[in-house]
Every structure is written in structure tokens, then in C-alpha cells.
Amino acid sequence: MQAGTDDLDRDAADLADGATPPTLSERVSHVFGALRWIAGSLVFYTVFFHLSVVRGSSMSPGIEDGDRILVEPWSYMLGEADRGDVIVLRYPLDPSVDYIKRVIGLPGDRVTLADGYVWVNGELLSEPYVDDVDRSSYLSTVIDEGHYFVLGDNRPRSSDSREFGLVPIEFVRGRVDLRLWPITRAGWVR
């Protein structure tokens, strides 16, 4: 039996009708039922997702230093990333280190950076997640098969494909969809 708000609502309604309050053992049973549900949820998330702590400000303002994020590794086993996905990847120059970046260029794309703007295949990329552009970056490259071009959202303070080059697809650990902490900023990552 799962303890939930229905049980608590029924208890409150019973008390309003003059019924006796739940016994201590009934209350303990409700608490343990809720704890079992929470523990089961945590096991599910640790098996199917990876909890990670962000270090650095390369993705601010959307993702900040110290944020706790869930990394979902399964979708890229079935398909490739989409432009705009926020991913965790192994740093190409030291694969023992993980980075968090946004996918900008897909295999076969031409990515051009100039005067703080990004063009993909000749079209200006809309980037509402970027607050501070880097007007000093100039680059034009075609993305090799089996690779991605990634950038941090905080362009002036990001080590990304401008520095370390293209990222092999097999270096992608997973997609970031959800921030868990801090609670005031918990929610979907865009």
C-alpha cells in the first residue's frame, strides 16, 4: 500500500467527523510507506540517470557552478544529439574529466563564428540562452562525421570546441534535461 495524500485527506475527514485520530502505528506505517516510495524513486534515478555537480561557469546563466543536474545517458544509445542539446562529455584533451556544453554543430554542418554571432549552414543561429557573446572568436569549420561542435553558453569564459576542437560522438556521456539543485532553480534545462 502506498501512503499518499489520499490517506492523509481521509484521516483529516475522519477527524472532522469526530472519529478517533490514527494510532501511532498507523502514522508510522504512513511515514514508512512514504520513505519506501522516496527510496524507490532514488534507486530508479541512480540506475537510469547520473547525478552530477557542475563545476565552473561556462554554461551560465542557465547552469551555474554548484548546480546538481541529472545526466540521461540512454537516448544517445538510440540516436544522435540534436542541435541545442546540453550534454556532458569527456574532455577530448583529458578524457578522465567531464565537461558540460551545448551542441551547436552536427556531422556535416558548417559552423561559422564571427563578431559574437554563430551561423550554421549559412543561417544565423538564434541563441536566447547566451547573455554574453565573445566578439573575439572567428572560425569557420565543417563538422566531421562522427563528431560534434560544442560551445559553452558563457562564451567569454568557456573552454569548448573553439579551443579543443571537435568532440567524437563516443565521448558524449549523456543529455542534461533536469536541474535538481538549488531548489529555487530546479526544473528543466533549456
Active site residues: 58, 101
* 55 touches 73 (CB < 8 A): no
Per the structure block, which three cell numbers stand in for 138?
572567428
Give bridge partners of residue 86 from the DSSP assignment.
102
* 143 touches 107 (CB < 8 A): yes
Residue 18 is given by DSSP the state: T
Cβ atoms within 10 Å, residue 159: 14
